[in-house]
Amino acid sequence: DAGVTQSPTHLIKTRGQQVTLRCSPKSGHDTVSWYQQALGQGPQFIFQYYEEEERQRGNFPDRFSGHQFPNYSSELNVNALLLGDSALYLCASSLAPTRSDTQYFGPGTRLTVL
Amino acid sequence: RKEVEQDPGPFNVPEGATVAFNCTYSNSASQSFFWYRQDCRKEPKLLMSVYSSGNEDGRFTAQLNRASQYISLLIRDSKLSDSATYLCVAQGWNYGGSQGNLIFGKGTKLSVKP
Protein backbone atom coordinates (compact mmCIF):
# COMPACT_ATOMS: atom_id res chain seq x y z
CA ASP A 1 0.00 0.00 0.00
CA ALA A 2 1.73 3.15 -1.25
CA GLY A 3 1.84 5.94 1.27
CA VAL A 4 1.94 9.66 0.56
CA THR A 5 4.83 10.60 -1.70
CA GLN A 6 6.32 14.03 -2.33
CA SER A 7 8.88 15.39 -4.73
CA PRO A 8 11.46 16.73 -4.73
CA THR A 9 12.87 15.92 -1.28
CA HIS A 10 15.09 18.99 -1.20
CA LEU A 11 15.13 22.20 -3.19
CA ILE A 12 17.26 25.34 -3.16
CA LYS A 13 15.95 28.52 -4.76
CA THR A 14 16.80 32.19 -4.69
CA ARG A 15 14.57 35.09 -3.69
CA GLY A 16 12.06 36.05 -6.34
CA GLN A 17 12.01 32.66 -8.03
CA GLN A 18 9.02 30.38 -8.34
CA VAL A 19 8.75 26.79 -7.13
CA THR A 20 6.41 23.84 -7.70
CA LEU A 21 6.14 21.00 -5.22
CA ARG A 22 4.33 17.75 -5.93
CA CYS A 23 2.33 15.28 -3.88
CA SER A 24 0.70 11.93 -4.57
CA PRO A 25 -1.84 10.86 -1.96
CA LYS A 26 -2.05 7.52 -0.23
CA SER A 27 -3.84 4.88 -2.25
CA GLY A 28 -7.61 5.30 -1.87
CA HIS A 29 -7.43 8.91 -0.63
CA ASP A 30 -8.96 11.78 -2.56
CA THR A 31 -8.23 14.84 -0.41
CA VAL A 32 -4.88 16.61 -0.18
CA SER A 33 -3.86 19.24 2.36
CA TRP A 34 -0.64 21.25 2.35
CA TYR A 35 1.21 22.49 5.41
CA GLN A 36 4.27 24.65 5.95
CA GLN A 37 6.56 23.83 8.87
CA ALA A 38 9.21 26.42 9.74
CA LEU A 39 12.11 25.38 11.93
CA GLY A 40 11.04 24.94 15.54
CA GLN A 41 7.35 25.41 14.75
CA GLY A 42 4.39 23.12 14.26
CA PRO A 43 2.99 22.68 10.76
CA GLN A 44 0.76 25.54 9.56
CA PHE A 45 -2.18 24.81 7.24
CA ILE A 46 -1.90 26.31 3.76
CA PHE A 47 -4.89 24.88 1.87
CA GLN A 48 -6.87 21.75 1.11
CA TYR A 49 -7.94 20.33 -2.24
CA TYR A 50 -10.84 18.01 -2.94
CA GLU A 51 -12.53 17.26 -6.26
CA GLU A 52 -9.91 19.46 -7.95
CA GLU A 53 -11.04 22.54 -6.02
CA GLU A 54 -9.54 24.48 -3.18
CA ARG A 55 -11.92 23.82 -0.29
CA GLN A 56 -10.22 25.57 2.61
CA ARG A 57 -7.39 28.02 2.93
CA GLY A 58 -5.21 29.07 5.81
CA ASN A 59 -3.66 32.47 6.40
CA PHE A 60 -1.22 32.44 3.49
CA PRO A 61 -0.82 35.08 0.75
CA ASP A 62 -1.90 34.62 -2.84
CA ARG A 63 1.69 33.82 -3.76
CA PHE A 64 0.79 30.33 -2.56
CA SER A 65 -1.42 28.53 -5.03
CA GLY A 66 -2.23 24.95 -5.80
CA HIS A 67 -3.86 22.49 -8.05
CA GLN A 68 -5.34 19.03 -7.83
CA PHE A 69 -5.42 16.67 -10.78
CA PRO A 70 -8.08 14.07 -11.71
CA ASN A 71 -5.85 11.32 -10.26
CA TYR A 72 -5.98 13.21 -6.90
CA SER A 73 -2.31 14.21 -6.98
CA SER A 74 -1.59 17.82 -6.17
CA GLU A 75 0.88 20.63 -6.71
CA LEU A 76 1.81 23.56 -4.51
CA ASN A 77 3.17 26.62 -6.29
CA VAL A 78 4.90 29.49 -4.57
CA ASN A 79 5.71 32.65 -6.54
CA ALA A 80 8.12 35.47 -5.75
CA LEU A 81 9.93 33.47 -3.10
CA LEU A 82 10.98 35.19 0.11
CA LEU A 83 13.65 34.12 2.57
CA GLY A 84 10.85 33.42 5.04
CA ASP A 85 9.41 30.76 2.74
CA SER A 86 12.26 28.47 3.71
CA ALA A 87 10.57 25.55 5.45
CA LEU A 88 9.53 21.93 5.28
CA TYR A 89 6.44 21.65 3.08
CA LEU A 90 4.24 18.73 4.05
CA CYS A 91 1.45 17.15 2.10
CA ALA A 92 -1.23 15.17 3.92
CA SER A 93 -3.89 12.97 2.37
CA SER A 94 -7.21 11.74 3.68
CA LEU A 95 -10.63 10.62 2.52
CA ALA A 96 -13.34 13.10 1.53
CA PRO A 97 -13.49 16.07 3.93
CA THR A 98 -17.05 15.19 4.86
CA ARG A 99 -15.78 12.07 6.56
CA SER A 100 -13.94 11.99 9.82
CA ASP A 101 -10.63 10.55 8.74
CA THR A 102 -7.01 10.58 9.75
CA GLN A 103 -4.60 12.69 7.72
CA TYR A 104 -1.42 10.89 6.67
CA PHE A 105 1.67 12.94 5.95
CA GLY A 106 4.26 12.56 3.26
CA PRO A 107 7.99 12.90 3.96
CA GLY A 108 7.96 16.55 2.95
CA THR A 109 9.96 18.80 0.66
CA ARG A 110 12.61 20.88 2.36
CA LEU A 111 12.79 24.25 0.60
CA THR A 112 15.69 26.61 1.17
CA VAL A 113 15.45 30.15 -0.20
CA LEU A 114 18.75 32.01 -0.47
CA ARG B 1 -3.08 33.76 21.83
CA LYS B 2 -2.00 30.65 19.93
CA GLU B 3 -4.84 28.26 19.05
CA VAL B 4 -2.96 25.27 20.42
CA GLU B 5 -0.33 25.79 23.10
CA GLN B 6 2.09 23.32 24.55
CA ASP B 7 5.29 23.47 26.60
CA PRO B 8 8.18 23.22 24.10
CA GLY B 9 10.42 21.43 26.60
CA PRO B 10 12.85 19.83 26.22
CA PHE B 11 11.91 17.09 28.63
CA ASN B 12 15.02 15.08 29.48
CA VAL B 13 14.10 11.87 31.28
CA PRO B 14 15.84 8.57 32.11
CA GLU B 15 14.71 5.31 30.58
CA GLY B 16 11.79 3.84 32.47
CA ALA B 17 10.47 7.20 33.64
CA THR B 18 6.88 8.34 33.30
CA VAL B 19 6.45 11.66 31.52
CA ALA B 20 3.37 13.79 30.95
CA PHE B 21 2.73 16.42 28.29
CA ASN B 22 -0.01 18.99 28.46
CA CYS B 23 -1.68 21.08 25.84
CA THR B 24 -4.45 23.70 25.76
CA TYR B 25 -6.61 24.80 22.87
CA SER B 26 -8.49 28.06 22.46
CA ASN B 27 -11.29 27.20 20.03
CA SER B 28 -14.12 25.57 21.93
CA ALA B 29 -15.63 24.47 18.60
CA SER B 30 -12.74 22.08 17.99
CA GLN B 31 -14.13 18.60 17.53
CA SER B 32 -11.27 16.17 17.20
CA PHE B 33 -7.91 15.97 18.90
CA PHE B 34 -4.75 14.04 18.24
CA TRP B 35 -1.18 13.53 19.30
CA TYR B 36 1.32 13.24 16.48
CA ARG B 37 4.94 12.22 16.87
CA GLN B 38 7.66 13.80 14.75
CA ASP B 39 11.21 12.51 14.58
CA CYS B 40 14.02 14.88 13.65
CA ARG B 41 13.68 16.04 10.04
CA LYS B 42 10.84 13.58 9.37
CA GLU B 43 7.10 13.96 8.80
CA PRO B 44 4.58 13.92 11.65
CA LYS B 45 3.01 10.52 12.28
CA LEU B 46 -0.23 9.93 14.11
CA LEU B 47 0.41 8.56 17.59
CA MET B 48 -3.17 8.45 18.79
CA SER B 49 -6.51 10.17 18.74
CA VAL B 50 -7.78 11.70 21.98
CA TYR B 51 -11.27 11.07 23.35
CA SER B 52 -13.17 12.61 26.24
CA SER B 53 -13.40 9.22 27.89
CA GLY B 54 -9.64 8.88 27.78
CA ASN B 55 -7.87 6.25 25.75
CA GLU B 56 -4.84 4.08 26.12
CA ASP B 57 -2.51 2.43 23.62
CA GLY B 58 0.11 0.34 25.34
CA ARG B 59 2.35 2.67 27.33
CA PHE B 60 0.55 5.77 26.05
CA THR B 61 -2.54 7.32 27.62
CA ALA B 62 -4.34 10.38 26.26
CA GLN B 63 -6.98 12.46 27.99
CA LEU B 64 -9.27 15.28 26.87
CA ASN B 65 -11.02 17.73 29.16
CA ARG B 66 -13.45 19.75 27.05
CA ALA B 67 -14.54 21.96 29.94
CA SER B 68 -10.96 23.10 30.54
CA GLN B 69 -9.94 22.81 26.86
CA TYR B 70 -7.01 20.73 27.95
CA ILE B 71 -5.36 17.67 26.41
CA SER B 72 -2.72 15.43 27.94
CA LEU B 73 -0.43 12.59 26.95
CA LEU B 74 1.17 10.25 29.46
CA ILE B 75 4.05 7.98 28.50
CA ARG B 76 4.89 5.22 30.95
CA ASP B 77 8.14 3.23 31.09
CA SER B 78 9.90 5.54 28.59
CA LYS B 79 12.12 3.94 25.98
CA LEU B 80 15.06 5.45 24.14
CA SER B 81 12.98 5.14 20.99
CA ASP B 82 10.35 7.49 22.45
CA SER B 83 12.75 10.41 21.91
CA ALA B 84 10.97 12.71 19.48
CA THR B 85 8.84 15.85 19.32
CA TYR B 86 5.21 15.34 20.30
CA LEU B 87 2.69 17.56 18.54
CA CYS B 88 -0.71 18.35 20.03
CA VAL B 89 -3.35 18.80 17.33
CA ALA B 90 -6.91 20.12 17.25
CA GLN B 91 -9.35 19.84 14.36
CA GLY B 92 -12.64 21.58 13.86
CA TRP B 93 -15.56 21.00 11.55
CA ASN B 94 -16.65 23.60 9.07
CA TYR B 95 -20.16 24.83 8.40
CA GLY B 96 -21.72 22.26 6.08
CA GLY B 97 -20.09 19.37 7.88
CA SER B 98 -16.71 19.21 6.22
CA GLN B 99 -13.61 18.25 8.12
CA GLY B 100 -11.59 21.25 9.27
CA ASN B 101 -7.88 21.59 8.93
CA LEU B 102 -5.43 20.37 11.56
CA ILE B 103 -4.12 23.00 13.97
CA PHE B 104 -0.80 22.07 15.48
CA GLY B 105 0.97 23.19 18.60
CA LYS B 106 4.68 23.94 18.37
CA GLY B 107 5.52 20.55 19.79
CA THR B 108 7.16 19.26 22.96
CA LYS B 109 10.60 17.75 22.61
CA LEU B 110 11.29 14.58 24.58
CA SER B 111 14.74 13.13 25.07
CA VAL B 112 14.99 9.78 26.83
CA LYS B 113 18.47 9.03 28.16
CA PRO B 114 20.00 5.63 29.09
The mean pLDDT values, 10 residues at a time, for chain B of 114 residues are: 87 97 89 93 94 91 93 97 96 68 94 96
Q: What is the pLDDT of residue A99?
A: 62
Chain B residues touching A99 at Cβ < 8 A: 99
Q: Which chain A residue's Cα is nearest to B4?
A: A42
Q: What is the pLDDT of residue A66?
A: 97
C-alpha distance from residue B56 to each of A32, B48, B63, B66, B99 (Å): 29, 9, 9, 18, 25
Q: Which chain A residue's Cα is nearest to B10?
A: A40
Chain B residues touching A33 at Cβ < 8 A: 101-102
pLDDT in single tens digits along all 114 residues of chain A? 679 999 999 999 999 999 999 999 999 999 999 999 999 999 999 999 999 999 889 999 999 999 999 999 999 999 999 999 999 999 999 987 666 678 899 999 999 999
Q: What is the pLDDT of residue B100?
A: 76
Q: What is the pLDDT of residue B52?
A: 84
8 Å CB contact of B106 and A40:
yes
8 Å CB contact of B106 and A56:
no
Chain B residues touching A51 at Cβ < 8 A: none
Q: How many residue contacts between A and B have a Cβ separation below 8 Å?
A: 56
